A and B are shown apart, each in its own frame.
Chain A
C-alpha cells in the first residue's frame, strides 16, 4: 500500500528530526538526555501559543520554534548540563528525568493539561490523489522540510569546518581538545542546534502527533529507540532507524493490528540483541 508507505516515511522523517539532536548529544557528550522531548514540547507550545494567541502565521512559527528551543538549549547547556558530562549514566538519567518532570508540570501549570490544537494553513490541508497513492499535503510538507534539514545537516557535517571539528570531537574528545579545538563551544553549539531541531520537530508534529504536557514522556521511548538502533556515530544511522521505525509502526498497525505496539518493542529488542551497538555503527571511533 503506497499511501501507507508514504505515511510511514513522513512519520519516520518527523521522528528523525525530533531525535537527531539526541543522537548527536549522546554520541558527542555521551550524555543520556531523557529530557530531549521537553525541547520538542517547548517548540510545539511556542508554535501553538504564537499561532492561537498572537496570530502568527504557521510558516513563521517554525523558525520561531527552532530558535526558541535552541536558545533554551543554549542557556541550559552551560548552566546545568555541562556539569553532568563526567557523571555516571545513572546520574544523567536521574537529572534528565528531573528536568522532564519540571518541564511537564510547569507547562501544565501555565497552559493547562489539555491537548493543544493548531489550525494549519489551508494550503497544507487536504491531499493530492495520484493514481493509487493519496499524498497528504501536510505529510508531504513534513517530508520536504525534514529531507531538506537532513541534507543541510549532512552538508554541514561533511563540508564545513565546524562539521569536521564536530566529527573529530565525537571520535575522540580528548585528542580534539588537545589539538586546540574549543570543545566547550562545539558542545554548546551542537546542543543548541540539536534542541532547536527537536523544537522544530515538535512544532511540525503538533498537527500529527498531538501536543499536551505529557508529550516528552510519551515519545521519549521512540526517540531512544531511534538512537539506540541507529547508533550515535553517524547521521544516516538514526535517519535509517527512524524511517524503519516509522514504516514498521504504520505497516504493523495496518496489517497486524492485533500485534500493534508489540511490533516496535520486539523489533527493537531483537535488533539490540543482535547488534547491541546499533544497526548502523561505523567501525572504530574511540570514546
Chain B
C-alpha cells in the first residue's frame, strides 16, 4: 500500500502545484502577446526552425514596442499534431490572452484551430500551410505563405506554352499532393495539353522504382512532380539513375521539391529542373538580398526558404496591423490586416481583402549553379506570372 500512498500524494501535490491562472491584464498597458505555434519537433521540424528564425529576425530588426507597449512572442511546439495545436491555441487565447495566433506548419493544424479563431474573434495568421480551403475555414484567418494551386497552375501554364504536350503527374499520396494533381491536370488540359497518367507514391518510405518504371514505359514529354520537401533529392537521384534525364523527358515541379533549405545538398542531379514557386533565395531584389544576408548572419549560414519568408511577412502583417489599431485586437485587428500591400523579400505582395489570402507573383525558375553566391545551387528565376490569386477560390 505504501507505494500507492506515495504516488497519490505526489500526484495530488503535482496537480495542485499547477498555478491556476486567471491572469488579469490591464487592457491598455500590458504587453501585447503574439502566440506562435510551430512544429519544432517531428517530421515538419525544419519548417518550425525556419519560421522561428525568421520571426526572431523580424523582431530583432523592428524592435518589440508597438504603440508604447511591449510585444511578446510566445513560441509553442505542437509537433504538427492537430489536437495538440488546438489545445495550445486554446490555452494561448484563454489564459495568455494573445492578440493573434500565428504559425501552423501543416494544414490539419490550421483547420483544427479555425473554429477557435472564429469563436474568440482572434485573428489567425497562417505562415506555412498551403491548402486553399484554410482561409475559408474561418473569417479570422489570414495567410502569408502561399497556396499550392497558386504555384501549380503557373507551372502548368508554362509547360503548355513551352512545347510540352504530354505529361505524367507524380504526386505524394496525401492532401497537398491531390491538390497539386488536380490543379495541374485542369490547368494543363485547359491549355490543350494531355495528361498520360496520374501516379501516386506513398507518403512514407517511398521507393520510386515502380513509378519511374511506369514513366519510362510511357515516355511523356515531361514529368510533373510534387513531393514533400525531404524527398526531392532521393527522387531526382533515382530519376537520373534510370537514365530518364537523358531520355528527353523533362522534369518539372513545384518549388517544394527544390526547397532552398536542402537544395545545395542535393548535388548535380538537381540541375536543370524547371519549377515554379513564390520565393527563391536567389531572387534578385535589394529587399531580398538584405533579408538573406541578415538571416544567414543570425543563423550560422542557414539559407532562408519559402517557409521563412512566410514567417517574416506574417510578422510584418501583424506588426503593421497592431500599429494601426494601437494594440487592440479582435475584429479591428483583422480589418487592419486585410488589404495590406507591401514589398516582401519574395516580391510584391497583397493580402486580399475579400479572401484574406495572399496574392503574389509566382516565378518560373531553373536550378543552376550561381558563381556569385559561392557556386551554390539556386533556383534562378527566368519568368514571372504576376499577382496570382489562389485559383482554389477565385470564383
Q: Is the CB of B173 within 8 A of A260?
A: yes
Q: Is B10 an interface residue (CB 8 A)?
A: no
Neighbouring A residues of B45 by C-beta, 8 Å: 108, 113
Q: Is the CB of B205 within 8 A of A115?
A: no
Neighbouring B residues of A210 by C-beta, 8 Å: 230-231, 233-234
Q: Is the CB of A3 within 8 A of B213?
A: yes
Bound form: Cα–Cα A136–B234 in Å: 15
Bound form: Cα–Cα A168–B384 in Å: 71
From A4, A138, A208, residue with most partner B Cβ within 10 Å: A208
Q: Is B237 an interface residue (CB 8 A)?
A: yes
Neighbouring A residues of B238 by C-beta, 8 Å: 208
**Known contacts A127-B241, A138-B241; is A250 also within 8 Å of B210 by CB?**
yes
Q: Is A254 an interface residue (CB 8 A)?
A: yes
Q: Is A119 an interface residue (CB 8 A)?
A: yes
Bound form: Cα–Cα A117–B266 in Å: 6
Bound form: Cα–Cα A163–B243 in Å: 43
B148 to chain A, nearest CB (A): 21
The residue in chain B whose Cβ has the minimal distance to the Cβ of A129 is B243
* A-B CB pair tally, cutoff 8 Å: 87
Which of A57-65, A176-184, A211-219 lies on the face that meets chain B? A211-219
Q: Is B20 an interface residue (CB 8 A)?
A: no
Q: Is the CB of A261 within 8 A of B202?
A: yes
Neighbouring A residues of B237 by C-beta, 8 Å: 117, 207
Q: Is A270 an interface residue (CB 8 A)?
A: no
B48 to chain A, nearest CB (A): 10
Bound form: Cα–Cα A117–B213 in Å: 23
From A129, A137, A253, A254, residue with most partner B Cβ within 10 Å: A253
Q: Is the CB of A249 within 8 A of B230?
A: no
Bound form: Cα–Cα A208–B267 in Å: 15
Q: Pick the contact of A219: B46, B205, B234 (CB < 8 A).
A: B205
Q: Is B261 an interface residue (CB 8 A)?
A: yes
Number of interface residues, chain A, beta carbon within 8 A: 37
- Against A, the Cβ 8 Å flags (1 = close, 0 = not) of B95-106 are 000000000000
The residue in chain B whose Cβ has the minimal distance to the Cβ of A118 is B267
**Known contacts A11-B209, A125-B241; is A113 also within 8 Å of B46 by CB?**
yes
**Known contacts A115-B230, A127-B242; is A218 also within 8 Å of B205 by CB?**
yes
Q: Pick the contact of A4: B201, B213, B233, B267 (CB < 8 A).
A: B213
Q: Is the CB of A117 within 8 A of B204?
A: no
Q: Pick the contact of B43: A136, A208, A214 (CB < 8 A).
A: A214
Neighbouring B residues of A219 by C-beta, 8 Å: 205
Q: Is the CB of A117 within 8 A of B265?
A: yes
- Against A, the Cβ 8 Å flags (1 = close, 0 = not) of B230-266 are 1101100110111100000000000000000110011
Q: Is B65 an interface residue (CB 8 A)?
A: no
Neighbouring B residues of A114 by C-beta, 8 Å: 46, 230, 261-262, 265
Identify which of residues 106-126 in chain A touch chain B, using a CB-to-CB cut-off of 8 Å. 108, 113-117, 119, 125-126
Q: Is the CB of B265 within 8 A of A136?
A: no
Neighbouring B residues of A260 by C-beta, 8 Å: 173, 200, 202
- Against A, the Cβ 8 Å flags (1 = close, 0 = not) of B140-177 are 00000000000000000000000000000000010000
Q: Is the CB of B267 within 8 A of A117?
A: yes
- Against A, the Cβ 8 Å flags (1 = close, 0 = not) of B190-216 are 000000000111101101011101101
Q: Is the CB of A119 within 8 A of B241?
A: no
The residue in chain B whose Cβ has the minimal distance to the Cβ of A252 is B210
Bound form: Cα–Cα A249–B242 in Å: 19
**Known contacts A7-B210, A253-B207; is A119 also within 8 Å of B230 by CB?**
no
A217 to chain B, nearest CB (A): 10
Cross-chain pairs A/B with CB under 8 angstroms, 17 sampled: A7-B209, A113-B45, A114-B46, A115-B233, A117-B237, A125-B240, A129-B243, A138-B241, A208-B234, A209-B207, A209-B234, A250-B209, A254-B210, A257-B199, A257-B200, A260-B173, A261-B202
Question: 7 closest pairs, A vs B, by CB?
Answer: A254-B210, A253-B210, A7-B209, A210-B234, A115-B230, A260-B202, A117-B233
